[in-house]
């Protein structure tokens, strides 16, 4: 897999932070030397923004990086960090900050996703995604929603890459019982989950109601694992009004990895997922089609 601009910026930022700290400089000191705000340097070190060549050269001089090979590697990282990813074509509809998330997802080796309210984006059908996005962005027009659906489906191509990403998904049982978009849409979505769960690189498990109160009730999150051993995990934490991306904080990210493993110990085995989905599909088979214009329907009990 070719390393893209998001991961390049992230790796460069990590290296620059390590160099700064090993030389005993505080963030504010280096920012003052560069003539930028500390927040600007922080965005560079966390990979959220590319760095200008002039800033990079000045930092390398401050940090005593004189070996030509090491300097060239960092310069190449900075240059490639300025490239635009395929998702830039959707800049007109991308929510603020979501480009970083999509960039990480496009370049990760493995995804561990836990969802408490909706099917994970990498597993959604177009119709299910459209129903969800209409509720998430009620002020968007049909064309904007369609573009967001296209973006979501384009992201799913990672499951078909050579090699494909590994996806471990755990869904709260409420996710598969909540009828989103009407019975027809939900039936197609559940069948899609069954089909994907057969793939060797996909594992879908259900956190059943009968486990009672559990750690997953705090909310959904996604963990990104990268193909380089020295790369830390990145984590997207989902909230109602905004999401938070955790980067360059190994201790906090590791906590979410441990939580995911705990969820795995509580969820049903992936081999039982088809049986659970079939039970709900059987109940949906007797449901009336959704009325025209309806976005959702009651949960299947």
Does one domain contain both 170 and 248? yes
Does one domain contain both 246 and 141? yes
- Residue 113: beta bridge partners? 169, 222
Question: What is the average pLDDT value for the chain, to the nearest integer?
Answer: 88
Q: What percent of the chain has pLDDT over 90?
A: 58
Does one domain contain both 102 and 244? yes
Does one domain contain both 144 and 167? yes
Confidence of residue 202 (pLDDT cuts 50, 70, 90): very high
**Count: domains in the chain:** 2
> What region, left, alpha or beta, does residue 109 occupy, with left being phi > 0 and alpha being psi -120 to 50 degrees?
alpha
Report pLDDT for 293: 44
Domain end residue (candidates: 17, 51, 81): 81
Does one domain contain both 187 and 44? no
Does one domain contain both 285 and 175? yes
Q: Bigger pLDDT: 167 or 234?
A: 167
Report pLDDT for 98: 82
Report pLDDT for 297: 56
Domain end residue (candidates: 35, 61, 81): 81
Q: Bigger pLDDT: 298 or 253?
A: 253
- Residue 204: beta bridge partners? 169
Average pLDDT over residues 62-82: 85
Whether 146 and 98 have beta carbons less than 8 Å apart is answered as: no
Does one domain contain both 238 and 256? yes
Range of the domain at 256: 86-297
Confidence of residue 298 (pLDDT cuts 50, 70, 90): low
Considering the entire predicted model, what is its pTM? 0.77
Whether 93 and 146 have beta carbons less than 8 Å apart is answered as: no
Report pLDDT for 4: 67
Q: Bigger pLDDT: 300 or 161?
A: 161
Does one domain contain both 67 and 109? no
Identify the CATH number of the domain in which residue 44 sits. 1.10.260.40
Does one domain contain both 218 and 243? yes
Average pLDDT over residues 134-161: 94
Does one domain contain both 76 and 90? no
Does one domain contain both 66 and 92? no
> What region, left, alpha or beta, does residue 3 occupy, with left being phi > 0 and alpha being psi -120 to 50 degrees?
beta
Domain end residue (candidates: 59, 81, 103): 81
Tell whether the torsion through CA atoms of 79, 80, 86 and 91 is positive or negative.
negative
Q: What is the pLDDT of residues 240-293, one digit of tens each?
A: 666 787 876 788 888 999 999 999 999 999 999 999 999 999 999 876 554 444
Identify the CATH number of the domain in which residue 178 sits. 3.30.870
Does one domain contain both 92 and 69? no
């Amino acid at each position: 897999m070719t390393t893209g601009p998001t991961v390049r910026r992230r790796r460069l930022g990590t290296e620059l932070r390590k160099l700064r700290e090993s030389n005993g400089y505080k963030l504010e000191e280096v920012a003052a030397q560069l003539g930028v705000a500390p927040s600007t340097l922080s965005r560079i070190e966390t990979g959220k923004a590319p760095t200008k060549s002039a800033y990079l050269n000045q930092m390398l001089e401050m940090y005593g990086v004189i070996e030509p090979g090491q300097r060239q590697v960092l310069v190449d990282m900075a240059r490639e960090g300025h490239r635009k990813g395929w998702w830039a074509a959707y800049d007109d509809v991308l929510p603020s900050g979501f480009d970083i998330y999509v960039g990480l997802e496009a370049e990760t080796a493995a995804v561990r996703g836990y969802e408490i309210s909706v099917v994970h984006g990498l597993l959604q059908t177009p119709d299910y995604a459209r129903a969800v996005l209409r509720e998430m962005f009620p002020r968007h027009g049909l064309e904007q929603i369609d573009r967001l659906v296209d973006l979501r489906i384009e992201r799913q191509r990672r499951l078909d890459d050579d090699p494909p990403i590994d996806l471990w998904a755990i869904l709260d049982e409420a996710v598969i019982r909540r009828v989103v978009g009407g019975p027809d849409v939900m039936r197609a979505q559940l069948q899609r989950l069954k089909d994907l769960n057969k793939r060797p690189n996909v594992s879908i498990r259900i956190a059943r109601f009968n486990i009672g109160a559990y750690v997953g009730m705090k909310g959904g999150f996604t963990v990104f694992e990268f193909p380089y051993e020295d790369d830390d995990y990145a984590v997207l934490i989902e909230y109602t009004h905004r999401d938070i991306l955790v980067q360059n904080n190994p201790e906090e990210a590791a906590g979410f990895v441990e939580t995911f493993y705990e969820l795995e110990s509580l969820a049903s085995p992936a081999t039982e997922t088809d049986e659970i989905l079939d039970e709900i599909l059987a109940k949906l088979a007797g449901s009336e089609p959704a009325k025209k214009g309806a976005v959702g329907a009651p949960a299947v009990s």
